[in-house]
């Protein structure tokens, strides 16, 4: 399917609150088949998300340590996470240390997911992901670990206020660009 058809279909699913503010853009290189075009998303005529560019206004992580040291990254720790650490250490660790250990483990797992999602995103083909989005139910796109699927789903008109509000805790575990889209969508409600 051509880019113009895919763009038209994506825009048909765009929530009315973002119409005119949110746009999909792509550049192509017709005579350079080995060079993929750039795909990016613009909000209010400002490029906020280039798929392979680390100079976007959204935070891209280079290492796992950057994620661990990011003070803005909020990771919810539940009692079952603490209980898992307690069980694994056979109760030999002091209570105040259990929370620190559970948070450290959760951050390490999240860091690996974010770094792998970023590397997959920079290599992925926007058209392939857009076609996946158009052929999947919206719930699968929202729950996916693929950053671009999450972005497309959050801009979708089928995602209402109630669903957005129930996703609040899960969004904190997603990439900053997904968090940005979530906040943008909430601000239009």
| 150 and 178 Cβ atoms separated by less than 8 Å | yes
Each residue's pLDDT, cut to its tens digit, for the chain (189 residues) gives 777 788 888 888 888 888 888 888 766 555 555 555 566 788 888 877 776 544 445 555 666 777 777 777 777 788 888 888 889 888 888 888 888 888 888 888 877 777 666 655 544 467 778 888 999 899 999 988 888 889 899 999 988 889 989 988 888 878 888 888 899 898 887
- Return the DSSP state at 145: S
Q: Residue 40 pairs with which residues in a beta bridge?
A: 25, 50
Element at 48 (helix H, strand E):
strand 46-50
Please state, in angstroms and rounded to a whole number, the distance separating the CA atoms of residues 94 and 57. Answer: 42
Residues sharing a CB contact under 8 Å with residue 146, sequence separation 6 or more, in sequence order:
117, 120, 121, 124, 129
Place of tokens 């789903």: 153
Residue 95: per-residue pLDDT: 84
Residue spans per domain, the chain: 3-62+115-187, 64-114
């Amino acid at each position: 399917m051509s880019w113009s058809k895919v763009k038209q279909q994506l825009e048909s699913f765009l929530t009315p609150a973002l119409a005119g503010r949110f746009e999909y853009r792509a550049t192509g290189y017709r005579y350079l088949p080995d060079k993929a075009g750039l795909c990016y998303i613009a909000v209010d005529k400002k490029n906020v998300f280039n798929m392979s560019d680390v100079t976007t206004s959204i935070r891209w992580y280079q290492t796992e340590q950057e994620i661990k040291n990011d003070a803005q990254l909020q990771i919810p720790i539940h009692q079952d996470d603490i209980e898992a650490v307690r069980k694994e250490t056979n109760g030999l660790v002091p209570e105040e240390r259990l929370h620190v250990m559970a948070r450290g483990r959760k951050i390490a797992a999240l860091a690996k997911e974010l770094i792998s999602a970023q590397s997959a995103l920079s290599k992925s083909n926007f058209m392939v992901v857009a076609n996946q989005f158009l052929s999947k139910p919206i719930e699968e796109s929202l729950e996916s670990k693929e950053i671009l699927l999450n972005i497309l789903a959050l801009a979708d008109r089928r995602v209402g206020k109630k669903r957005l509000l129930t996703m609040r805790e899960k969004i904190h575990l997603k990439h900053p660009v997904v968090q940005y889209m979530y906040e943008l969508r909430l601000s239009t409600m």
